């Protein structure tokens, strides 16, 4: 190989932890050398005695295509003429202990279908994107002041052909996109699609970080899925897992015979709770690997964002560990200082390369400034999952309504911190699996009350500050919890209650997107003000959502008991006529129909801190949205 200046510079950056496109340096790439076409292989294995490329093309014989170690930088290289796209290969590594092991390429863009584990040569230069308009619009959009409602999706259990036999990314595009578009979601969030050996890990224990899983097709098939989403106005977020990796022999564990991608210290390397290994966040080459990986998914697949899994497991040395299984950091604390520095560096790099993408942290503790810029001490994400809201609301809504008044703080406490971060309100797969019951089945009461509670919960979620995320199946009220080896219970849509719930979701999304007050000031205190948070006795709360235009103001009234209240006084901020623009109790949603069909005129008597009020019917287990439609001057004109 001719080592030129550009190559040497990339190698230098790689070892500095600053090579943001290391997948262009390492891995398998189609090139032409001296007029001969073939595949260039490069792999980082500094502790190896010898590395070879093996595959069917050489009968898996490591003597045939031995690689050359370039200087002392730990990178091995070879060029094999005549190989092409689709070639199956692995690296045969002779360790310093005299052992031979076969490893998949850490930078492979494609892999064999499980249970096979070899890498597959798959150049990424050929796809013809058709989402230029979307990408331009994305660049010009203010993410924080836009509606965002995310449909969390596990492809293999959304719909399948038969057990462990799935549709392709292209076939899923043709089925999923029209459904999500009709429902009105703005984004799809996919559970991890990095290659993983075990279906039931759902992608959270990966072996191929640059390889889109072959369960559903090829890299170009997945590009088609993303492309079609964009052409239909739907963003795509991928669940990304830099916190750990699985121990399968063909993967990253002791890649060259020694700890390489993982910490050498077992107390830091072992994720005992999950039986996996932690990346060595302090190692420069691992930083280049992970930062490049994030940029790779965003750049090469046009993804609109990454939801970063289990950030707390990266931040804390004692996460999921018992006493004696972990060690204090150099300052006597439990924070993983290297991981904190890496996260900040990663987010800085991503936003320099791709300024208008989403970086969402699933961070389950009270770590401060998760979604704040690094220059003010933040971690540098632009969104954080609001796990506190999720836990409080699920605890509250699962109670029998008769007990809710004793736990009223669970529905009001989130507003004390709602603007401390840029929040997403998540009802994710983790809340509807492993015996936790489906969202509908968490609800107390009889058959009707379960659906009413569900609608009230979801309507309150869409009224509360923060972007929204809902796991698949919840949109039509699946009774069973998520069955990860079966598809959704689509047959339920033949029943009125479930079909009505799906219609409710369509209409709540239409309201949500049509009303800037529900999203424009999501992250500003000015976007929310209480009318009455104190009526714990009746479990009724009311508040105002504001937009930048005073004309878009919404009054929201929530009743979390089955009791109907007639002539209920609600303070309102302005004089005029108010219309009930939406109620979750509408009969076409399966509700009781206790609606406010007439305009509600303000009464000039102070109430609940407002100078005027309206008298209205409060429906049972429901949320009502009121909008001022006219002022007294307009009425008299």
Q: Catalytic positions, please? A: 309, 362
| Angle at 92 (CA atoms; ends 86, 94), nearest 5 degrees | 165
- Per-residue b/e over 132-159, b at no fewer than 16 CB within 10 Å? eebeeebeeeebbbebbbbbbbbbbbbb
In the DSSP assignment, the letter for residue 481 is: P
Please compute, for residue 316, the number of CA atoms within 13 A of its CA located in the half-sphere on the CB side.
15
d(CA 106, CA 73) in angstroms, rounded, equals: 17
Sign, CA dihedral 413-416-417-418, equals positive
Strands 554-559 and 622-630: antiparallel
Residues 6+ apart with CB under 8 A from 237: 150, 187, 188, 189, 190, 303, 304, 305, 306, 307, 358, 360
d(CA 86, CA 287) in angstroms, rounded, equals: 29
d(CA 164, CA 628) in angstroms, rounded, equals: 53
Q: Is 322 helix (H, G, I), strand (E, B) or coil?
A: coil
Strands 612-618 and 565-572: antiparallel
Return the closest-CA partner of residue 222 out of 211, 208, 233: 211
Within a 10 A sphere around the Cβ of 480, how many other Cβ atoms? 15
Return the closest-CA partner of residue 185 out of 458, 493, 574, 401: 458
d(CA 40, CA 51) in angstroms, rounded, equals: 14
Helices (H), 234-283: 266-269
Strand segments, DSSP code E, in 136-246 are 149-153, 187-190, 194-195, 208-212, 235-240
Q: Is 358 helix (H, G, I), strand (E, B) or coil?
A: strand
Return the closest-CA partner of residue 502 out of 183, 149, 184, 234: 183
Please compute, for residue 484, the number of CA atoms within 13 A of its CA located in the half-sphere on the CB side.
14
Q: How many helices (H) and strands (E) are present in the chain, helices listed first?
A: 17, 29
Size (the chain), residues:
637
Burial status of residue 242 (CB atoms within 10 A of its CB: 0-12, 13-18, 19 or more): buried
């Amino acid at each position: 190989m001719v080592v030129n200046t550009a190559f040497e510079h990339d190698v230098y950056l790689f070892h500095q932890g600053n090579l943001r496109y290391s997948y262009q340096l390492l891995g398998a790439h189609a090139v032409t050398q001296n007029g001969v076409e073939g595949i260039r292989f490069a792999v980082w294995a500094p502790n190896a005695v010898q590395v070879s490329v093996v595959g069917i093309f050489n009968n898996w014989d490591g003597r045939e295509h031995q690689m050359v170690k370039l200087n002392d930088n730990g990178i091995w290289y070879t060029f094999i003429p005549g190989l092409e796209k689709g070639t199956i290969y692995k690296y045969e590594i002779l360790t310093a202990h005299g052992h031979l092991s076969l490893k998949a390429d850490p930078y492979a863009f494609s892999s064999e279908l499980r249970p096979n584990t070899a890498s597959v040569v798959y150049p990424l230069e050929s796809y013809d994107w058709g989402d230029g308009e979307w990408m331009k619009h994305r660049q010009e959009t203010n993410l924080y002041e836009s509606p965002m409602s995310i449909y969390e999706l596990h492809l293999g259990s959304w719909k399948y052909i038969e057990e462990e036999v799935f549709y392709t990314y292209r076939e899923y595009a043709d089925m999923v996109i029209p459904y999500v578009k009709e429902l009105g979601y703005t984004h799809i969030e996919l559970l991890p699609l990095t290659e993983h050996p075990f279906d039931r890990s759902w992608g959270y224990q990966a072996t191929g970080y640059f390889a889109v899983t072959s369960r559903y097709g090829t890299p170009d098939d997945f590009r088609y899925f993303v492309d079609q989403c964009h052409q239909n106005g739907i963003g795509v977020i991928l669940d990304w897992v830099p916190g750990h990796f699985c121990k399968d022999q063909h993967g990253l564990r002791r890649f060259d015979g020694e700890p390489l991608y993982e910490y050498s210290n077992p107390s830091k390397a072992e994720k005992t709770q999950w039986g996996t290994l932690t990346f060595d966040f302090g190692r420069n080459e691992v930083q280049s690997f992970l930062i490049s990986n994030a940029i790779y998914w965003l750049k090469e697949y046009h993804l609109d964002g990454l939801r970063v899994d289990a950030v707390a497991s990266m931040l804390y040395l004692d996460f999921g560990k018992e006493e004696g299984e972990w060690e204090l950091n150099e300052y006597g604390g439990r924070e993983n200082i290297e991981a904190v520095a890496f996260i900040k560096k990663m987010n800085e790099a991503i936003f320099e390369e791709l300024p208008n993408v989403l970086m969402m942290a699933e961070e389950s503790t009270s770590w401060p400034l998760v979604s704040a810029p690094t220059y003010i001490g933040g971690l540098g994400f632009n969104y954080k999952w609001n796990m506190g809201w999720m836990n409080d609301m699920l605890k509250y809504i699962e109670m029998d309504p008769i007990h809710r008044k004793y736990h009223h703080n669970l529905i009001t406490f989130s507003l004390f911190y709602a603007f401390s971060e840029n929040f997403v309100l998540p009802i994710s797969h983790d809340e509807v699996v492993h015996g936790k019951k489906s969202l509908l089945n968490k609800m107390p009461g009889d058959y009707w009350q379960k659906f009413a509670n569900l609608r009230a919960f979801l309507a309150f979620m869409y009224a509360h500050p923060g972007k929204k995320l809902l796991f698949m199946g919840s949109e039509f009220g699946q009774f069973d919890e998520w069955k990860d080896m079966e598809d959704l219970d689509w047959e339920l849509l033949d029943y009125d209650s479930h079909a009505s719930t799906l219609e409710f979701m369509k209409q709540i999304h239409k309201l949500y997107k049509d009303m800037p007050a529900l999203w424009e000031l999501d992250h500003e205190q000015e976007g929310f003000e209480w009318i009455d948070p104190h009526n714990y006795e009746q479990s009724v709360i009311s508040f105002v959502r504001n937009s930048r235009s005073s004309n878009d103001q919404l009054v929201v009234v929530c009743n979390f008991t089955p009791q109907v209240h007639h002539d209920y006084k609600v303070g309102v901020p302005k004089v005029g006529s108010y219309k009930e623009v939406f109620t979750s109790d509408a009969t076409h949603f399966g509700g009781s129909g206790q609606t406010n069909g007439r305009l509600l005129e303000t009464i000039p008597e102070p109430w609940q801190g407002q100078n005027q009020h309206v008298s209205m019917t409060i429906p049972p287990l429901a949320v009502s949205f009121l909008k001022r439609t006219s002022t007294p001057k307009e009425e008299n004109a």
